[in-house]
Chains A and B, each alone.
Chain A
Amino acid sequence: MGGVHPPENKLAEKQAIERLEPPKSVAIPLAQHLGVPAEPVVSRGDQVKTGQLIAKGEAFISAHIHSSVSGKVKKIDAVTDASGYRKKAIIIDVEGDEWEEGIDRDEGLQKQCDLDAKEILEKIHNAGIVGLGGATFPSHVKLNVPRGKKAEYLIINGVECEPCLTADHRLMLEKGEEILVGVQLQMKALGVKKAIVGIEQNKPDAIQHFTKLAKDYEGISVQALEVKYPQGAEKQLIKALINREVPSGKLPIEVGCVVHNVGTAFAVYEAVQKNKPLIDRVVTVSGSSVKKPSNFMVRIGTPVSALIEAAGGLPEDTGKVINGGPMMGKALNDLEVPVTKGTSGILIFTENEASRPVEQNCIRCARCVTICPMGLEPYLLAPLAEKQRLEECEDERIMDCMECGSCLYICPSAKPLLDHIRVGKTRVGKMIRERSA
């Protein structure tokens, strides 16, 4: 149901992933995942090695954080992160690139794994892996199926339906085997027999590559999907692949599914087979005015400005720099913001592209209703939320909104529908929590 077709603009599609050298200094935020921020275990002046544990996430929903560089801890202080606010981060001055012992830095493929499910989960937990699709939900929590529920399918998200982004696409082409080993490891950890990799049809090379490779892996199949946004949203992906609908307010495990991104699968491979914690990720830097649209393998904590520099510098007519995709991403208000585990892309928009048109009155065209992938009525929800009619918002299922931004994209009157709905969601969420308390 629903969906929009924004221009794809995948400019960096053909650019091979380039490894970016560690910068002079990194700022590694303590809250890079959903849930409770990690607690630092190093202090000012400590020497750290690449891959060393520097912050522990002990809470149920939290993740460990490792140093992405070797050097000296300069301080633990608040720095502006992608949220637009100053949050605590560990700032490390880089000295050389000395890695923690036990990390296998060999690029060769390691297929064999004799560990059992529990040990694999343990390794994923220790490596601090979170969902790399953007939501950054701690992976070990997701792979630990709650009692009474049973996972049937592992769904691997290779859709990358956000326009402009090519990070997952390149990873699939370049690290296909590794991803499939990672998928196999996750299947073992979950105890499922079937895994489906979903890829949008606009990536025929990746589909071909994966279909060929998957023949050697039992239980893994590849499925091509219609090109539309948001095809890669969890619930939409499950519906498209196995035709099951996740009930309102429930998680995919309700219909026997666990969904992971291809990037996460690669991180799982590295963690389990190479003992390498999550310290780097692929980030697309793109935009029509960017000199050299690229895909970089970046150390976590690298400032965004270093990435832009590597892609040819910041164009003069830049209007906005977006963290994430053009649909769900957020404009940055500081270019020194560090890359975190959830950064999938840095997009540079010219002033022309970035400015929002002037808001006009709703003309009741109902396009937002037609395209809403969750079957909601954004034209109604937005004013209800604006007027704080929260009970009605709840009745209209505002909490089902996944904030994909399709309504804002399609609205001919340029109404900031999603802005109001987001506020409404926060308020309704608070109301629900207060009621149950």
Chain B
Amino acid sequence: MNELFNEITVLSVVSLGAIGGVAAIVLFLVAQKFKVIEDPRIDEVEDLLPGANCGGCGLAGCRALAEAIVRAESLEGFNCPPGGSEVMQDIAEAMGWEASESTPMIAVLRCNGTREFAPPKVKYEGAMTCAFAHNLFAGEGGCPFGCLGCGDCVEACDFDAMYMDKDTNLPVILDDKCVACEACVKECPRDIIEMRKKGKKNRRIFVSCINKEKGGVARKNCKVACIGCGKCVKECKFDAITLENNLAYIDFEKCTLCRKCPPVCPTNAIHELNFPERKKKVEKEAKTE
């Protein structure tokens, strides 16, 4: 009995040991043959990225960006919108490169067709998605260029940087949360949201309208539409404003934020954000009175 037991034990130990040995050799050889040499720096860079996988950089996710950065051996042309310059600095430091500063951008809504300025003429009852409403009609207010107010952009935002204002029926972009990933820009069926330079102290001046119709037609639907009168173009000393298809556009690269154009706009279509309140306004009103 004891002998038999010994024999089985020895046999099984030897045979299993042999199989194990052969398998180990095979595995070792295969691992040698198909070895993936991965740059350890990829992991290092990935650790520094925010890990939101938002795709804001234009790549599939943070890992893809890390791979691309390491492969390119430079930060030139790469941008992580949520991480911003801080993250890029960190990566540059870790890699021993120099980081180039890129201009911070932010999403800007170029429509001011609130319920007050563009009163709804009809009521929309379909699925609450701008994509469908856009296929169906010009919009409750009647402007074929204006915001439809179904909130596809808010849905697309991964950073809670947008919400729908119930009173105006327009989306609101939060300056401190927007990371310029462009998800909303891509989602908007009417291309109302534009990526613009964030500006010093978050100050921005832009035409809050993209209506290309003739002035009279545009005004019929919305009190604050750009009517293409060209007054702002004349006012601008820096050639930053162009007029095309009855619509003024302010080039944010050329604009010096001098604040000359907003007051001349007869329909208040030019918006200025985060500026201190105007002093002149009081004087002006006093004059007219």
Q: Could you list which residues of chain A lie within 8 angstroms of chain B, going by C-beta atoms?
A: 78, 80, 83-86, 330-331, 333, 355-356, 386, 416, 419-420, 422-423, 426-427
Q: Which residues of B contact A420 (CB under 8 A)?
A: 127, 129, 132
Option from B127, B129, B136, B217 in Cβ contact (under 8 Å) with A84: B136
Q: Could you list which residues of chain B lie within 8 angstroms of chain A, going by C-beta atoms?
A: 121-122, 125-127, 129, 131-132, 135-138, 142, 144, 213, 217
Contact assessment for A416 and B126 in the assembled complex, using a CB-CB cutoff below 8 Å: yes
Option from A83, A84, A423 in Cβ contact (under 8 Å) with B131: A423
Q: Which residues of B contact A355 (CB under 8 A)?
A: 125
Bound-state CA distance A355–B144 (Å) is 24
**Contact A84/B138 with A355-B125, A419-B126, A420-B127 known, Cβ cut-off 8 Å:** yes
Q: Which residues of B contact A426 (CB under 8 A)?
A: 131, 135
For the complex formed, measure the closest distance between the CB of A332 and the CB atoms of chain B, giving whole angstroms.
9
Q: Which residues of A contact B217 (CB under 8 A)?
A: 78, 86
Residue of A nearest to B126 (CB): A419
Residue of A nearest to B129 (CB): A423
Bound-state CA distance A89–B144 (Å) is 17
Contact assessment for A333 and B132 in the assembled complex, using a CB-CB cutoff below 8 Å: no
| 3 closest residue pairs by CB, A with B | A84-B137, A419-B127, A416-B127
Most buried by A among B125, B142, B144, B217: B125
> Chain B binding site: helix, strand, loop or mixed by DSSP?
loop
Contacts A84-B136, A419-B126, A423-B127 known; list 11 others, CB within 8 Å.
A84-B138, A85-B144, A86-B138, A86-B213, A333-B121, A333-B137, A333-B142, A416-B126, A419-B129, A423-B131, A423-B132
Bound-state CA distance A80–B136 (Å) is 13
Bound-state CA distance A78–B218 (Å) is 12
Residue of B nearest to A80 (CB): B138
Residue of A nearest to B133 (CB): A419
Residue of B nearest to A330 (CB): B136
> Chain A binding site: helix, strand, loop or mixed by DSSP?
mixed
Bound-state CA distance A85–B125 (Å) is 18
Option from A85, A331, A386 in Cβ contact (under 8 Å) with B138: A85
**Contact A419/B144 with A84-B138, A85-B138, A333-B138 known, Cβ cut-off 8 Å:** no
For the complex formed, measure the closest distance between the CB of B157 and the CB atoms of chain A, giving whole angstroms.
15
Q: List 26 interface pairs A-B (beta carbons < 8 Å), by A numbering.
A: A78-B213, A84-B137, A84-B138, A85-B144, A86-B138, A86-B213, A86-B217, A331-B122, A333-B121, A333-B122, A355-B125, A356-B125, A356-B126, A386-B129, A416-B127, A419-B126, A419-B127, A419-B132, A420-B127, A420-B132, A422-B132, A423-B129, A423-B131, A423-B132, A426-B131, A426-B135
Q: Which residues of A contact B135 (CB under 8 A)?
A: 422-423, 426
For the complex formed, measure the closest distance between the CB of A379 and the CB atoms of chain B, giving whole angstroms.
14
Bound-state CA distance A355–B125 (Å) is 8
Residue of A nearest to B142 (CB): A333
For the complex formed, measure the closest distance between the CB of A47 and the CB atoms of chain B, giving whole angstroms.
27
Bound-state CA distance A333–B148 (Å) is 15
Q: Which residues of B contact A427 (CB under 8 A)?
A: 131
Q: Which residues of A contact B132 (CB under 8 A)?
A: 416, 419-420, 422-423
Bound-state CA distance A84–B137 (Å) is 4
Residue of B nearest to A415 (CB): B127
Residue of A nearest to B140 (CB): A333
Q: Which residues of A contact B127 (CB under 8 A)?
A: 416, 419-420, 423
Q: Which residues of A contact B129 (CB under 8 A)?
A: 386, 419-420, 423
Bound-state CA distance A84–B135 (Å) is 9
Most buried by A among B122, B131, B213: B131
Bound-state CA distance A422–B127 (Å) is 11
Residue of A nearest to B187 (CB): A388
Q: Which residues of B contact A331 (CB under 8 A)?
A: 122
Most buried by B among A78, A333, A420, A427: A333
Most buried by B among A386, A419, A422, A427: A419
Residue of B nearest to A417 (CB): B127
Q: Which residues of B contact A333 (CB under 8 A)?
A: 121-122, 137-138, 142
Residue of A nearest to B144 (CB): A85
For the complex formed, measure the closest distance between the CB of B136 and the CB atoms of chain A, giving whole angstroms.
6
For the complex formed, measure the closest distance between the CB of B129 and the CB atoms of chain A, giving whole angstroms.
6
Bound-state CA distance A389–B217 (Å) is 38
Bound-state CA distance A300–B135 (Å) is 24
Most buried by A among B125, B127, B131, B217: B127
Bound-state CA distance A167–B131 (Å) is 33
Bound-state CA distance A422–B129 (Å) is 11
Q: Which residues of B contact A422 (CB under 8 A)?
A: 132, 135
Bound-state CA distance A17–B135 (Å) is 34
For the complex formed, measure the closest distance between the CB of B211 and the CB atoms of chain A, giving whole angstroms.
11
For the complex formed, measure the closest distance between the CB of A334 and the CB atoms of chain B, giving whole angstroms.
8
Bound-state CA distance A330–B144 (Å) is 17
For the complex formed, measure the closest distance between the CB of B210 and the CB atoms of chain A, giving whole angstroms.
15
Residue of B nearest to A386 (CB): B129
Bound-state CA distance A272–B229 (Å) is 52
Residue of A nearest to B125 (CB): A356
Most buried by B among A331, A355, A427: A331
Most buried by B among A386, A416, A423: A423
Q: Which residues of B contact A419 (CB under 8 A)?
A: 126-127, 129, 132
Q: Which residues of B contact A83 (CB under 8 A)?
A: 137
Bound-state CA distance A419–B124 (Å) is 12
Bound-state CA distance A382–B10 (Å) is 65
For the complex formed, measure the closest distance between the CB of A31 and the CB atoms of chain B, giving whole angstroms.
15
Bound-state CA distance A85–B127 (Å) is 19
Q: Which residues of A contact B122 (CB under 8 A)?
A: 331, 333
Bound-state CA distance A327–B225 (Å) is 36
Contact assessment for A86 and B137 in the assembled complex, using a CB-CB cutoff below 8 Å: no
